[in-house]
Amino acid sequence: MAKGHHLLLQKQRNHFQLCQTFCALFGGKETNFLRPLSDFGFSDWSNWEGGVGLFLVSVVFEYTEACGISKGTPVRIRGATAGNVIGVNPFLKSIEAVVEVGDDKTVISRNSLIKVNQSGLLMETKIDITPREPIPTPSVGPLHQDCTKEGLIVCDREKINSDQGTSLDTLVGIYFGLDSDRENWHHQ
């Protein structure tokens, strides 16, 4: 290893920064290198924030069906990636998607439209959040102790019901439903 690289590694104070620097020096990608640690609370977001979950907001979205939601599914607010799914909890009546938002300044208003959608050629699953009017102006963030009292935004570790969006399964079901209706109409 070159002397300059050795000095650079010595200057790193945080072990995760050391890992990221090591991976970058040897052509690796730090996101893939640290992926196995995500089960233990270490994520791309928390590493860049300088700690383990210090400024992360986790929210639970509840759905009637999973529609392809899995660990790593992106969460977007108005089309911009804001976080990802870190866990999926299946129950008999519903599915809970545990979502991690990478910054406590990113808020989700309670009146937002939250849908799971599949789009693109490969039907990639995404959770889309679209804030609706009126856009709230909260005085506290999602990690603040008075967040629940204010009631304007979704607070840390809170559960919120969400909507099924567009999925391939839904479209196929509609198609076959229309096809059977057409067959019944022709036989009358």
**pLDDT value of residue 57:** 85
Does 153 fall in a domain? yes
Total domains in the fold of the chain: 1
Can you tell me the mean pLDDT for 165-184?
A: 65
Half-sphere exposure of 175 (CA within 13 A, CB side): 6
Answer for the pair 60, 101: CB distance below 8 angstroms, yes or no: no
The tens digit of pLDDT for each residue in 41-87 reads: 455 444 444 444 456 788 888 888 888 899 999 999 999 999 999 99
170 compared with 137, residue with greater pLDDT:
137
Answer for the pair 95, 63: CB distance below 8 angstroms, yes or no: yes
The tens digit of pLDDT for each residue in 10-46 reads: 444 455 555 555 555 554 444 455 555 554 445 544 4
**pLDDT value of residue 31:** 46
Domain that holds residue 140: 55-171
For the chain, what is the mean pLDDT? 74
The tens digit of pLDDT for each residue in 115-130 reads: 888 877 777 889 999 9
Does 144 fall in a domain? yes
Cα separation, 6 vs 168, whole angstroms: 51
Indicate the pLDDT class of residue 102, thresholds 50, 70 and 90.
confident
For the chain, what's the residue count? Answer: 188
Does 64 fall in a domain? yes
Half-sphere exposure of 117 (CA within 13 A, CB side): 14
Answer for the pair 117, 131: CB distance below 8 angstroms, yes or no: no
The yes-or-no verdict on residue 155 having pLDDT over 80 is yes
For residue 73, what is the DSSP state?
-
Does 133 fall in a domain? yes
Does 136 fall in a domain? yes
Does 150 fall in a domain? yes
Angle between the 15-25 and 3-11 helix axes, to the nearest 10 degrees?
160
**pLDDT value of residue 66:** 82
Does 24 fall in a domain? no
81 compared with 5, residue with greater pLDDT:
81
Does 137 fall in a domain? yes
**pLDDT value of residue 187:** 56
Indicate the pLDDT class of residue 106, thresholds 50, 70 and 90.
confident
**pLDDT value of residue 30:** 43
Cα separation, 145 vs 156, whole angstroms: 10
76-80, 87-91, 101-105, 173-177, range with the lowest pLDDT: 173-177
